[in-house]
Amino acid sequence: MTDFAQLQIIKNGHVTSPKGFKAGGTHCGLRRKKVDFGWLYSEVPATVAGVYTQNAFQAAPLHVTKESIAVEDKLQMVVVNSANANACTGEIGMANAYETRKLVAERIGVSEHLVAVASTGVIGVQLPMEKLTKGIEQIDLDQSVTADFEQAILTTDTVTKYVAVEVEIEGKVITLGGACKGSGMIHPNMATMLAYITTDANVEAESLQTALKTATNETFNMITVDGDCSTNDTVLAFANGMNMQTELTTDHPEWHKFQDAFTLISQLLAKKIAKDGEGATKLVEVNVKQAESTDSARKIAKAIIGSNLVKTAIYGADPNWGRVICAVGYSNQPIDPSKVTVYLGDIKVVENGLPADFSEEEGKEYLMSENVSVTVELKMGDGEATAWGCDLTYDYVKINASYRT
């Protein structure tokens, strides 16, 4: 299990808190006014790991990014545009992604394979390359304004999302930072958003991929807003080694500290996405305990956090635990109904499959909090998992009934 106690969250830490990272953003005209084109840069080529959406319609920039990384598992730059996903755009879309990469490489004077590209926004519209070119021409590596990058990557998000932590390895303090976007189209089991995690540690490529996969399974893959999975979503991790000589691998005696820091960064970012879910008023955390296995616990947690009926009940502060039980029941996992116990926060509402004696008023009051937790104990084994999501509100419908207008 992860142990976050020895980690230090940096107050007002950003994706550029680790040594040698810079970021910026500009308005190139994809949106009316908002900053819409961002870049994240490492002063030296950084070792890179990535996870990508499992959607069969992977957007053009993902292909180009993977191609870049395949060359030597290193990147120095990623550029991101919002407002347009460059997905379902065929050969022209691919050509535009390649062109973007080429122009960026030229602009900053690095090899093309050290550049990754990302897009997020509406599907099926070609990138307006004139505008994008204008954005690329405005990249100035001497003008790092991280807040602009964090703003540029947003779509329907209402806040920028960033975090950084410190961890001591071999007596040396290294830093990890992160930034992400994601508000709709968020669902487990996918690389479900754009997220960028940076560190000034020196991490061997395969080990970095392990850290990312491990963290993603426990964090980004455990959040859901609406059950939909995007064509574009990507998590990239960059380790530039600028603050540490030794190369970290999974065999290193202090590897677990690095993994914990990585998982914490991922969890904090994932929770920010869940809390900023489209129309959300509450962050919901679902804990499943004593499941037959970790996998089973995850599936049950996801069934609960993904239930529209649970989500609307929480929105309405209705302690209607029947909907939680119902989601457990259709998760298709090994359970014994007569052993299931459910808590809303600390309030026991179901004990061994039967209604517990609790005050409806107290339950209602608890569900009015901004942070709500639901805990389910199954007495089937020692599998555990946590999932995060949000309530389903009028505003979710409003945002998505008029996304493009």
Write out the binding residues: 155, 181, 192, 278, 400, 405
Minimum CB separation of residue 375 from a copy of itself in Å reads 17
Residue 132 within binding range of a copy of itself, rule CB under 8 A: no
Q: How many CB atoms lie within 10 A of CB 27?
A: 19
Residue 381 within binding range of a copy of itself, rule CB under 8 A: no
Q: Which of residues 187-216 bind a copy of itself (CB under 8 A)?
A: 187, 190
End-to-end CA distance of the chain: 46
* Beta strands at 194-199 and 234-239: parallel, antiparallel or unpaired: parallel
> Which of 6, 54, 246, 371 is the binder for a copy of itself (CB under 8 A)?
54
Residue 228 within binding range of a copy of itself, rule CB under 8 A: yes
Q: Which of residues 238-297 bind a copy of itself (CB under 8 A)?
A: none
Residue 315 within binding range of a copy of itself, rule CB under 8 A: yes
- Selecting among 65, 175, 192, 263, the annotated active-site residue is 192
Q: Return the number of the residue (80 or 335) whose C-beta is nearest a copy of itself.
A: 335
Amino acid at 198: T
Give residues with Cβ within 8 angstroms of 339, minimum separation 6. 352, 353, 378, 379, 380
Q: Which of residues 135-154 bind a copy of itself (CB under 8 A)?
A: none
Q: Quick one: tokens of 243?
A: 């603050």
90 burial level (CB within 10 Å; 0-12, 13-18, 19+): exposed
Q: How many helices (H) and strands (E) does the chain have?
A: 11, 15
Residue 405 within binding range of a copy of itself, rule CB under 8 A: yes
Q: Return the number of the residue (201 or 328) whose C-beta is nearest a copy of itself.
A: 328
Nearest-CA neighbor of 169 among 229, 250, 258, 238?
258
Helix (H) / strand (E) containing 129: helix 129-137
Residue 179 within binding range of a copy of itself, rule CB under 8 A: no
192 is catalytic: yes
Region of 179-187, 209-217, 245-253, 262-270 interacting with a copy of itself (CB under 8 A): 179-187
Q: Return the number of the residue (289 or 302) whose C-beta is nearest a copy of itself.
A: 302
Residues marked as binding for substrate? 155, 181, 192, 278, 400, 405
Dist CA 277 CA 289 (whole Å):
25
Do the Cβ atoms of 222 and 302 come closer than 8 Å?
yes
Dist CA 49 CA 251 (whole Å):
18
Q: Quick one: tokens of 24?
A: 């910026």
> Which of 71, 137, 316, 368 is the binder for a copy of itself (CB under 8 A)?
316
Measured between alpha carbons, how far is residue 188 from residues 210, 215, 294, 383, 405 in Å? Answer: 19, 13, 15, 18, 28
Region of 36-44, 111-119, 180-188, 237-245 interacting with a copy of itself (CB under 8 A): 180-188
E-strand spans in 53-144? 74-81, 115-119
Q: Return the number of the residue (3 or 57) whose C-beta is nearest a copy of itself.
A: 57
Positions marked active-site:
192
Binding site for a copy of itself (CB under 8 A): 54-57, 85, 87-90, 122-125, 184-185, 187, 190, 226-231, 306-309, 312-313, 315-316, 318, 320-323, 325-330, 332, 335, 337-338, 350, 353-355, 392-394, 396-398, 400-405
